[in-house]
Amino acid sequence: MKLWIEKQRYLIDFTLASLARRKARNIGLLLVYTLLVFMLASVTLYTHALRQEAARVLVASPEVVVQRMVAGRHDLIPPGYMEKIGRIRGVQTRTARLWGYYYDAVTKANYTFMVPAEDAPAKGEIVVGPALERSRGLAANNGISFRSYSGKLHTFIVAAVLPQATELVSADLVLMSEESFRAFFDYPVGHYTDIALTVANPQEVKNVALKLSAALPDARPILRDEVLRTYAAIFDWREGIVLALFSAAILAFGILAWEKASGLSAEEKREIGILKAIGWETGDVIKMKFWEGMLISLTAFLVGFVAAYVHVFHFAASMFEPVLKGWAVLYPHFQLTPHIDGVQVATLFFFTVFPYAAAVLVPIWKAAITDPDSVMRG
Amino acid sequence: MIELSGIRKAFNQGRDNEYWALDGIDLRIAANQVTALRGPSGSGKTTLLTIVGCLSRPTEGRVRLKGGDISGLPERFLTEIRRQRFGFIFQQFNLIKGLTALDNIILPGYPTGRPRHELLARAEELLVGLKLGHRRDAKVEWLSGGEQQRVAICRALINDPELVIADEPTANLDSHLAGEFMGILESLAGQGRTILLTSHDPLVVESNVVQNVVDMRDGKLIQHR
């Protein structure tokens, strides 16, 4: 056992010395390899964390949202609609909601104006999202004026700014009282934007939606699960776009790795011959070269992954932010909750480390089984 | 010590360019003596050396080492014999560039798993013995031809082999260095090692150190002194 350990130590020693002897080549390869792992890991870590974030925030949202449709377009909920829903079994609570979009010419961005179900600000006061706080330089107790669609100027006092934790979905939010909202948008009394329903039994959500469609043929029920799926699809799509852009880089790396790893130089072949001639076994040579490849790919994977982790969770993925995050024009600025998925890491490992290790092995095996007498003739 | 009977070696066997480098060699290499294989280029000296040194197998014939037939042994066992019994000094020295003299010398010791301190102590002893102690940490590409050969000799002796094989050891040395090599050869022979070398250098084959000279031509033995 001691002998075996000593042998492995020698192999590792020699491997490290080998790597150091071809410094320029190996550092170049390591840099490109690390950069590739960094980019791939950044994209996957980031989109995964975004999906988690969206799911976390949406957990508290209603199971069903009912919208009224006229000519295939979203229309206001007229008075009397709420009562009809109340008779559907399985519905626990119903809340009529008021919200709408407002285009701010100053920041050239859309805000979402909304009346919260609870703790609505007092008349003339608003609570704003963190992105708005930044773009308009707002703070609590500041005043701000918006010109409504009717042309009238409305002035509000900022009562508070929403917490950063919810920024992904609250970046462009402006919360106000029902009275302020109706006055600002000239919203008719008794009308609402949509209705939020909570359903006690998650198994019943689909049945409730079916019953709603039957009872209110002009209504469109939107299920929370569908919203979650939509978010997931959006992030998947964005991840796909970025990965597609990277595919050229991946291909280039593949060619580089194949060329560097598979094409043993004449010098390396000569060395393998010498080692065999002086008593190294074929297995020792293969092990040594395999360790060389593994050391490069594992180092690249670890450094690339850790760098991606820091990039995503400490520097908010500043490189990919514009493509992967946000909607409207205001990009949410928020800290993602660190989250690593084992399967995701394993997949990334499989697609980056394994092909390189395989590319290294075949030519080394070929060189290692050649007769050692070739060195006599060198 | 080594007995060769009916040794034939073909290259590219079965192809149009089939070539028999050795054609029926019967030879006994005596233990504790210096034997030189002499002959012109292409006479089969080096091929015979690779077969004796377990670097390749004969196409036909038997090789016996201390009475045991080793000609049919699988690669793994040949490697082990090569490591334990033989030390090689190649014509081009075949040192590994980028490594120090000391690191090159201990390389054949790696597969044995011997403790590092033992290997290093032995390497130091050999370096000092060949007056190369001051160059232990120099990279081999910085060494002169003579120094490189002495490093190669140290490497050949690190596992304390019974038999040393040297292929054209003076081919890359001037007369002064060749003379120094003969001195080293004499001391190795004095230690009771069996030495087999190839050479067509008169300085080597006509030296008193060499007890046996085997003349070869066209893959055959033509004279045995």
The whole-chain average pLDDT of chain A stands at 82
pLDDT score, position A378: 60
Instruction: Answer yes or no: do A284 and B110 touch at CB < 8 A.
Output: yes
Range of the domain at B48: 2-224
Smallest CA–CA distance, residue A292 to chain B, in Å, is 16
pLDDT at A253 over 80: no
A189: phi then psi, degrees, rounded to nearest 5: -65, 140
Comparing A88-92, A213-217, A258-262, A315-319, the range with the smallest average pLDDT is: A258-262
**A279 and B108: CB-CB below 8 Å?**
yes
Taking CA–CA distances from B96, the nearest residue in chain A reads A271
pLDDT of A224 strictly over 90: no
| Residues pairing with B197 in the sheet | B36, B166
Residue A7 with chain B: CB contacts under 8 Å? 110-111, 113
| Residues of chain B that touch chain A, judged by Cβ-Cβ distance less than 8 Å | 46, 49-50, 55-56, 75-76, 79-80, 82-84, 88, 90-92, 94-99, 103, 107-108, 110-116, 155, 159, 167
User: What is the Cα–Cα distance from A228 to A205, expressed in whole angstroms?
Assistant: 14
Across the interface, which of B55, B80, B91 has its CB nearest the CB of A277? B55
Domain count, chain B: 1
Q: Which residues of A touch B91 (CB under 8 A)?
A: 376
Q: Which two tokens stand for residue B95?
A: 């040192």
Asked whether residue A59 carries a pLDDT value surpassing 80, the answer given is: no
Compare all CA atoms of chain A with the CA of B92 and give the residue at the minimum distance. Answer: A378
pLDDT over 90 at A178, yes or no = yes
Q: What is the mean pLDDT of residues A337-353?
A: 82
Non-local (6+) Cβ contacts of B80 within 8 A are A279
> How big is the CA angle at B40 (ends B35 and B46), to the nearest 5 degrees?
55
Which residues of A touch chain B, with CB atoms under 8 Å apart? 2-4, 6-7, 9-11, 14, 17, 20-21, 267, 270-271, 273-282, 284, 371-373, 375-378
- Cβ contact, residue pair B110, A11, below 8 Å: yes
CATH 2.40.40 in chain A is located at 77-192
Decide if pLDDT at A168 tops 70.
Answer: no
Distance between start and end Cα atoms, chain B: 17
Cα torsion at A159, A161, A166, A168 (round to 10°)? Answer: 120
Residue A173 CA to residue A161 CA, distance in Å, equals 10
Cβ-based contacts of B103 with chain A (< 8 Å): 17
What's B60's DSSP letter? E
Per cent of chain A over pLDDT 70 is 90
User: Which ranges of chain B does DSSP label H, i.e. alpha helix?
Assistant: 45-52, 75-85, 101-106, 116-129, 145-157, 175-190, 202-205
Task: Quote the pLDDT of residue A329.
Answer: 47
Q: Does A326 score more than 60 pLDDT?
A: no
The alpha helices in chain A, defined as continuous H runs, are: 2-21, 23-58, 81-86, 130-135, 167-170, 178-185, 205-215, 224-262, 266-277, 282-313, 321-324, 342-368, 374-377
For testing contact with chain B, the best of A274, A278, A281 (most B CBs within 10 A): A278
Average pLDDT rounded to a whole number, residues A176-201: 91
How many residues are present in chain A? 378
Q: Is CATH 2.40.40 the classification given to domain A77-192?
A: yes
B131: CATH: 3.40.50.300
CB contact under 8 A, A376 and B55: yes
Which ipTM was obtained for this model? Answer: 0.91
pLDDT tens digits for range A228-248:
788 777 777 777 777 776 777
In chain A, the largest separation of any two C-alpha atoms, in whole Å, equals 99
> Roughly what angle, to the nearest 10 degrees, separates helices B145-157 and B116-129?
130
Backbone angles phi, psi at B213, to 5 degrees: -125, 130
DSSP per-residue string spanning A328-375: SSS----PPPP---HHHHHHHHHHHHHHHHHHHHHHHHHHHTS-TTHH
Banded pLDDT at A165 (limits 50, 70, 90): low
CA distance A262 to chain B (A): 21
In chain B, whose CA is at the least distance from the CA of A378? B92
Taking an 8 Å cut-off on Cβ atoms, the answer to whether B46 and A376 are in contact is yes
User: Distance from B116 to chain A by nearest Cα, in Å?
Assistant: 8
Q: How confident is the prediction along chain B (225 residues), in pLDDT tens digits per residue?
A: 799 999 999 998 888 888 899 998 999 998 899 999 999 888 999 999 999 999 888 999 999 998 888 888 888 888 999 888 999 999 888 999 999 999 999 999 998 888 889 999 999 999 998 888 899 999 999 999 889 999 999 999 999 999 999 998 888 788 888 888 888 888 888 888 999 999 988 888 888 889 999 999 999 988 766
For residue B54, which of B24, B82, B90 has the smallest C-alpha distance?
B82
Q: What is the pLDDT of residues A148-160, one digit of tens each?
A: 888 899 999 999 8
Q: What is the pLDDT of residue A104?
A: 86
User: What are the tens digits of pLDDT across the range A286-314?
Assistant: 888 888 888 888 999 999 999 999 988 88
B55/A377 touch (CB, cutoff 8 Å), yes or no: no
Closest residue in A to B155 (Cα–Cα): A278
